[in-house]
Structure 1
């Protein structure tokens, strides 16, 4: 999963569609429920489009379907000033692997309350309606505690699920380890928790081998591991391509 626009840098996080604002690498006012035991900070090299970005940080995720991606993308780019005014800048723009008109927008958040006000403003719904959004947007807010800037894949999978107890879950997750996941075609990229529900976890993996990744994700072994870790209900699993 690339987290900086590919024409701006060779590292992780591609497809930034607006200029990233300068961010403080010692974040303040994080919601207490979203903190994790991991305190490591990973830094991305600065570029003209992307000043230094480091974990931990907050992000806003918007998922919806569009009538025509090219038309929607033009309107999205033109609305960048409104996002900037609310302290939002684009991190990732992605399209569903199976449904290219299903779009996921991930935004870097400087102020969670401003981000929520932006999402609740009727102006946003009007802009979406006028520019071909054809489904009700799903919006989530996450605190990212772990972030790997070194992976460079152009396809990734996002797994979101509830857990009974985060501390117990992360012990099992860490015991499995990145080496095991990598052997199964999955490269650790993001570990985050929902700001409004600290037991809602989102993990993102770059995919270096799609066949191995899908086999692992659907395997009885992983299902058992998730059960042992206290995952509640069926996880939401979404495969994405880097968007242009």
Structure 2
């Protein structure tokens, strides 16, 4: 009888010891699996996530190109009327000075409402202000949807703006993308922006930063480039404007 009791007590003690051990082992296994799963599926930090999913948002611009008698005088008048532009929902974006003619000025401003932007362009006040600022001749106004844009900081300040009309934008874009950024970089160009005319979406403006002016000019006027443009459906000769970023 005593032997049986001892035997039973030993069995009870063994079970008592084994249960916690098993529970501990299973707990470790569960936590290990959970940690492994978390390591594989752990989300990026907030700032990393924002950077990873950042998407370019198209925006509208008004471009004004004109000649001035004196850039310094014109610039003071332009800066002084920033508050009036804001009333019409227009925000200053960038100014460029012509490379071949430093008195040829390009202003690019962002806007949200086309009608307001056009109302601003037609203001009698604006015509008077331009005249007082020394604007020579009739300014050119154009309105675009920016569909590609690279605002990252680079050393190059020189730019080329190419504007032309195409028969079919989608067909032209396939040829342009097929040419590739690497090929254009080898020719002295860095892609910076692309825009389509608001009133005529087949009018396309492309902006390049210039890394090698000699190469860039030779490339854009080459027979090979002219042939490529023709194959892409470019109508007529493109307008080329070389300028330097002022800010």
Return the TM-score normalized by structure 1: 0.77
Shift of 1:150: 2.4
Alpha-carbon displacement from aligned partner over 1:65-98 (angstroms, at most 9, x marks no partner): 0111101111111011111111111111110001
Shift of 1:243: 2.1
Unpaired segments ≥5 residues, structure 1: 1-39, 43-54
Partner of 2:209: 206
Shift of 1:109: 0.9
Instruction: Confirm or deny: 8 A CA contact 1:88 1:108 kept in the other structure.
Output: yes
Partner of 1:102: 104
CA distance in 2, matches of 1:143, 1:134: 27
Change beyond 3 A, Cα 1:204–1:151? farther
CA distance in 2, matches of 1:109, 1:203: 19
Q: Secondary structure at the match of 1:100?
A: coil
Change beyond 3 A, Cα 1:227–1:185? same
CA distance in 1, matches of 2:207, 2:124: 31
Instruction: Confirm or deny: 8 A CA contact 1:160 1:202 kept in the other structure.
Output: yes
Partner of 1:134: 136
Shift of 1:41: 2.9
Matched residues, number: 193
Unpaired segments ≥5 residues, structure 2: 1-53
Bigger relative contact order, structure 1 or 2 (CA pairs below 8 A, ≥6 apart): 1
Return the TM-score normalized by structure 2: 0.76
CA distance in 2, matches of 1:149, 1:139: 23
Instruction: Confirm or deny: 8 A CA contact 1:87 1:110 kept in the other structure.
Output: yes
Alpha-carbon RMSD across the aligned residues, in angstroms, is 1.2
Larger Rg: 2
The reply to whether residue 239 of structure 1 matches residue 212 of structure 2 is no
For residue 80 of structure 1, the aligned residue among 63, 70, 82 is 82
